Structure formats: structure tokens, C-alpha cells
Structure 1
Amino acid sequence: MPTRRRSARDRARRELGQNFLVDRGVARRLVGLLEPAPVPIVELGAGRGAITSHLVHSGRRVTAVELDPRWADALRVAYPQVSVVRCDMLDFRFPAAPHSVIGNLPFGITTSMTRRLLDERSWSEAVLLVQWDVARKRAAGGSQLNAQWAPWYEFGLCGRVPARSFRPVPAVDGGILKLQRRADPLVPWREKQRYQRFVEAVFTGRGRGLAEIVRNLTGRRVPNLPALPKDLPVEAWARLYAGTS
């Protein structure tokens, strides 16, 4: 019976993309990507403490978020100086005060957790270990999600992490994605919803090419547009929004 329970648990973890980071070098690298700012750190998906063990030496206040009660209890014992919050990271209430974010995100909730993070206003940077294809896609830009959020954030790819760095070993590699809040937003935050609706309308609009889509949506002819929405640079999205609003 105990063997079957462990097997079922492992299968559930695989389905949710819950893979523990076991490579200490990768954990050290992730922590090293954080700016040396005197603000607290929130760690998402602390698990066995691979990243936590390096964070405690930073001299900054650390909050570790972990859903599994066994690992949460183990973290409290191993790192009494860390504030451990046992909850689903999607339900975690982020501090109102400035802070940094770091974490090994379950592959199955990467997009939903990224969206949740982007909608929070108090963190300045986030270093996230996610699925390689997701990290590469976000850093490359061109997607609707990137276009909707790029006026307030910069997306950077900071390396690939081999699958053997995790347990259980996933079918794909991981990637390190860094999100940095822009000091000078390209669009005012108060216009976020309106801007994002505009981007969605362009990506889903009808027309043979971006120029025709924009003309159909706004009634305006905008010169020098690329062929497709995915080809429009971040700064150009902000200008297009401002020029057609």
C-alpha cells in the first residue's frame, strides 16, 4: 500500500509539472540573478529548499510559499529564519511593500502564475524557472501576452536548465525567465485594461495583415506597419495604441 501511494503521488506531481530542483549550481545561479536590493524576497514553490538554502545567505527577509504540508513543515525546521506560508502560489497574497520574486514554477501552471504575477504591482523583479519553450517564447516576444504586458515589463531569457536538474526528471528542459518592471512605463498603468483590450482586438481582428486589421478596428490608416501583429515591436504597440485611441 505505501508503495502505491507514493507512485500515485509521483504521477500527480508529473501531471501538474511539479519537479523539484536538485542542481545546487542552478539554484545558486537563480539567486545570483536577483539584484542586490535591500527588499524582501518571496520564493514561490519552495519545495525541498534548493533555492531557499541560498536565499538565507542573502541577508534579506525571505518568505517561502509551499503547498505541500510536509515540505512546508520541513522548511520551517531547516530554515527557522524564513517565513513559510503553506498555500497554493496562485492564492498567495503578495506583500504590498516592494519585494523581489523567485521561484521554480510547476510547468502545468506557468502561464496562469505568470499572469497572476504580472497583475501585481509591488514587486520589482522576478526570476522564474519555467519550461524551456515558455521561457524562450516569452523572452522572444511576439505573443499576445507579451504585447499586452510589455509596456510595464521587460522579459529576459537567462539560460537553459537541463531536465536532469529536476526530480522527477521531466520530459523537457527548463528555462530561466527574468521579468523586470520598467522604471518608465510605455503606457500609464491606469490605462492597462483599455490597452490590453486593444491588443486583444488587434490579435483576434479580421483582416489581411496588420494594417487592414487596424483600419477595420479604428477606421484609421496607419503607415509602415509589419505584416502581422506578432511582428510589431513593443515600443510600436504603445505608439499604435496612443495614435489610435
Structure 2
Amino acid sequence: MKRRVASHGQHFLRSPRVAAILLGHSTIRRRDTVYDLGAGSGVITSALARRCQQVVAVENEPRALDALRRHTAAVPHVRIIAADIRQLVLPTEPYKVFANIPFALSADIVRMLTTAPTPPQAIYLIVQRQFASKLVPSDRHFTAALGAQLTPWWQARIRYRLRRTDFTPPPAVDTVLLELLPRTEPWLPHNQQTAYSQFVAQHYAEPRRFAALPRAQLGINPERKPSELQPKQWVQLYQAMQMK
């Protein structure tokens, strides 16, 4: 099931064995419906089909679609959607996502999934380690605006570190399996997600506006840059400004 790298920097798993190992680090179960975004020729799709009751494979590249259809023709519980991932209409019934996505689309796909009207019950994405680190709050890692925007509603962690030789062609960067799970007790109401995300984005982008935030009054070191704040500090600042 090998094929050349597609556009947007996508690299494909070499073998079903690697896909099976990754699935072992997920919450995917027999009763689940799982979306494989950017399915390629079907390495992950086939592994999912052996594990869960319904698989939806999304692919847009014609040659990959042909290979995907051949490899899954005898599997009745695999449904193929020929579409650009970014144009996909997500379901309203419960589902999970497990996918090896194009690296260049990582941020777009994470935003699409986490802000969907019916978000996934769990998200597993193979991404660059540097990108994943921006979403996992830590004193040692840079937290990007996207990480700060997601964390009130989602818990992010790195579940598995892959080898470059697990892919064809091998990527020039380190890759990991990123897990995103919805919080059972969100830090903010869901109806504030858009307003909070805009608040974080604006204060990342505009130094003067960020400097005017009441950081010292909330016990936050005023010398810290936006990327150095922890997610709960962003929530504190947002709530303080909402009260004004």
C-alpha cells in the first residue's frame, strides 16, 4: 500500500503493523464509528476496519482513491468519501477520528474538528512533534495560540513517538500520535468558545493590547510573553475582561 507523498506534506505509514500499534494507544473500540481523514491507499483504514464497526475513509487524490477502493472492496463496513478534508461535512451522530493528516493542514484540521457543531468523541492525529508540543501545556514547551484556544475544552497529550522509517517517504521531522479528548468538565461554557478564541488570537497578535491586560492584578508575571502564559492564565484574563 505504498505511494508517493501527496500535496500538503503528507507521508504514509509503511505497514499495517505500525497502524495496529498506534491503534493500541487509542480509545477506539468495536462499537465506534471512526473517520480516517486523508486515508491514502488505506493502511490505517484497513487497520480500523479490523477493530471497529464502521469506518469512513476520506480521500481526494484520484490514484489514492483507486487504491483505497481496491484494498477495501471486500469490507462492507468501510465507506469512502471522495472529498477534500477541509470541505468535509462532519456527522451529527457520535464518531471518533483517527488519521495520518497532511502536516501542512494540521492547524486547519484541528480547528475544524474541535469547533464542529458535533465534535468527535476522541481525536487521534499523526502530526509533527513540534506542532503537537504547541498544543500540550507544559513549562518546557511553547504553547501556541491554538493550544491556548483549545485547552478550556480539550485535553491534549502525545501518545506515541514514531520513527521516521515508519513512513514512506520518510519525513525530515519527528512525528507523534497526538490525542485530543474533550474535557468532562470544561473550564468555560461551550457557547463562549468563539469569543474566547478571538480574545486569545487578538492578544497574541497585538502586543499593545496584550500589555494592557491586568496581569499583575491576577498574580501573573507581567514580564511573560503571550506564548509563556499557561492556558488557565488565559482563562483568568478572559474572565476578568468579561467582567469589565
TMscore range, shorter length: 0.7 to 0.9
Choose 22-31 or 91-100, whichever is displaced more. 22-31
Question: Paired residue for 2:98?
Answer: 102
Q: If you compute each CA radius of gyration, which structure gives the higher value, 1 or 2?
A: 1
Give how far 1:89 is off: 1.1
**Equivalent position amino acid for 1:16 in 2:** H
Deviations 1:163-219 (A, max 9, x none): 2211122222221111111122111111122112221232233359x6x4304xxxx
Identity of aligned residues (%): 31
1:45 maps to: 38
Q: Which amino acid aligns with 2:148?
A: A
Q: Which residue of 1 aligns with 2:143?
A: 142
Aligned-partner SS, 1:156? strand
Shift of 1:72: 2.1
Aligned partner of 2:128 in structure 1 is: 131
Deviations 1:135-180 (A, max 9, x none): 2222246211111121111111122212221112222222111111
TM-score (normalizing by structure 1): 0.84
TM-score calculated relative to the size of structure 2: 0.84
Q: Does 1:18 align with 2:14?
A: no
Q: Does 1:214 align with 2:213?
A: yes
Q: CA RMSD in A?
A: 2.3
1:156 maps to which residue? Answer: 157
SS in 2 for 1:214: coil
Shift of 1:97: 0.8
CA distance in 1, matches of 2:195, 2:105: 26
**Deviation per CA, 1:89-131, whole angstroms, max 9, x where unpaired?**
1111111111100100111222222222222133111110012
Which of the numbers 226, 229, 232 marks the counterpart of 1:229?
A: 226
Instruction: Show the counterpart of 1:6.
Output: none
- Structure 1 gaps, min length 5: 1-8
Distance 1:132 1:233 in 2: 19
| Residues 1:168 and 2:160 aligned together | no
> In structure 2, what is the equivalent of residue 181 of structure 1?
182
In 2, Cα distance between equivalents of 1:203 and 1:46? 34
CA distance in 1: counterparts of 2:151 and 2:17, whole angstroms: 30
Q: CA deviation at 1:42?
A: 0.6
Within the alignment, does 1:243 sit opposite 2:235 as a pair? no
Q: Structure 1: how far apart are the matches of 2:201 and 2:134?
A: 18
Any idea what SS the aligned residue of 1:16 has? coil
Measure how far apart 1:36 and its partner are. Answer: 4.4
Q: CA deviation at 1:240?
A: 2.4
Which residue, 59, 68, 79 being the options, matches 2:52?
59
Task: Look up the match of 1:72.
Answer: 65
Report which of the two has the higher share of helix: 1
Letter of the structure 1 residue corresponding to residue 160 of structure 2? G
Give the Å deviation of 1:73: 3.0
For the Cα contact (< 8 Å) 1:133–1:175, is it kept in 2?
A: no
Distance 1:43 1:160 in 2: 19
Structure 2 segments unaligned to the other structure (5+ residues): none
Flag the 1:221–1:172 CA change in 2: closer, same or farther, 3 A: closer
- Indicate which of 30, 42, 55 corresponds to 2:22: 30
SS at match of 1:18: coil
